[in-house]
A = this chain, B = another copy of it.
Amino acid sequence: MVNGIFNGDKALLARAITLVESANWAHIEKANTIVEHCLTKKTNGIRIGITGIPGVGKSTFIEAFGKMLTKAGKKVAVLAVDPTSSISKGSILGDKTRMQRLAKDTNAFIRPSPSSESLGGVTKKTKETIILCEAAGYDIVLVETVGVGQSETAVYNMVDFFLLLKLAGAGDELQGIKRGIIEMADAIIINKADGTNKDKADLAKKMFTNALHLYPAKTSGWSPKVLTASSLQNIGIKEIWDMISDFIHQTKVNSHFNKNRIEQDKRWFLNTVNEGITHHFHKDKSVAHMTQNLLLDIEQQKISPFRAAEKLLNDYTKSY
């Protein structure tokens, strides 16, 4: 499987990602081995996070941006952090009809990742998926986040460049954009800057450019840019890539690029340790047995959940 990934086999890459996303412990262990092998391959990829509220035109933008990149000879992988409805378990992105042109491109790979219910789950899986895609030869990995929530912070912590898409006209409040997300952005793109929207977009560009001065300077030394674009009419798309290339060049020179990757690696290490330790704990047969009994006791209201947790922990942490 690792050889297949190294050779850029899309089907094997997809299967490996499925393993990585699995909640099954046997799969997790297999996935870990694959990720470890993929990490040994020297790669030179660029990771770009793309966020914005539903309706801002993220998929149209990603399609235009991705096609421009593949035409320029790049291989592009798109990862969607897909928030699943926690009740009906239905996927919002589910429809693969999104980004149809890009999906057919031999130099593109699109992966909508169903998120588990766990808040942190998405994060870990996405980071590993980036590694697999890069090992498969993808030069640029686009990580899309849907909605404007905590997943943005997670994605921000695993990309080199963070893009925020906005619409002209609608206020920040209505767009549900939080201050923290604007702070994270290395660039704001006013999307749908076409037709009667053009003037409004130019105005919004000025407004945001001014507003960005009020935010604290970035440790990258980069001043966030505001650009307008029409994904539908393919206007301003190339300029966005030029800007990102400038950023990459500039931050490689001032060594922020590498420092940032190392900080992200440290965070990933700690997250992986924490996942591993809980995984190891629950894998233990007697822990699993006692957990089942305690869940039953909680169901019958014989014990408080907090007390039950303490009981389980006390019994199984003595051997350390």
Query: Which of chain B's residues has its CB closest to A317's CB?
Result: B280
Tell me which of B151, B266, B272, B301 contacts A150 (CB under 8 A): B151
Contact A87 B269 (CB under 8 A): no
Contact B39 A306 (CB under 8 A): yes
Contact B39 A153 (CB under 8 A): no
Tell me which of B117, B173, B175, B280 contacts A153 (CB under 8 A): B117
The yes or no answer to A73 lying at the interface (CB within 8 A) is: no
Chain B residues with CB below 8 A from A317, complex form = 277, 280
The yes or no answer to A70 lying at the interface (CB within 8 A) is: no
Contact A266 B305 (CB under 8 A): yes
Chain B residues with CB below 8 A from A281, complex form = 273, 277
Query: Which of chain B's residues has its CB closest to A54's CB?
Result: B173
The yes or no answer to A250 lying at the interface (CB within 8 A) is: no
Given A150-B151, A178-B92, A183–B85 Cβ distance below 8 Å? yes
CB distance from A98 to the nearest CB of B (A): 15
Query: Which of chain B's residues has its CB closest to A309's CB?
Result: B272
Contact A278 B274 (CB under 8 A): yes
Partner-contacting stretch, out of A135-143, A192-200, A291-299: A291-299
Contact A307 B39 (CB under 8 A): yes
Contact B88 A183 (CB under 8 A): yes
CB distance from A188 to the nearest CB of B (A): 15
Chain B residues with CB below 8 A from A174, complex form = 53, 55, 170, 174-175
Tell me which of B32, B55, B150, B313 contacts A277 (CB under 8 A): B313
CB distance from A294 to the nearest CB of B (A): 7
The yes or no answer to A36 lying at the interface (CB within 8 A) is: yes
Chain B residues with CB below 8 A from A313, complex form = 273, 276-277, 280
Q: List 10 A-B contacts (CB under 8 A).
A: A36-B304, A36-B310, A53-B174, A55-B176, A88-B183, A149-B152, A268-B305, A268-B306, A269-B294, A277-B278
Chain A residues with a Cβ under 8 A of chain B:
32, 35-36, 39-40, 53-55, 83-88, 90, 92, 117-120, 123, 131, 146-154, 156, 170-176, 178-180, 183-184, 215-216, 262, 265-266, 268-270, 272-274, 276-278, 280-281, 284, 291, 294-295, 298-299, 301, 304-310, 312-313, 317, 319-320
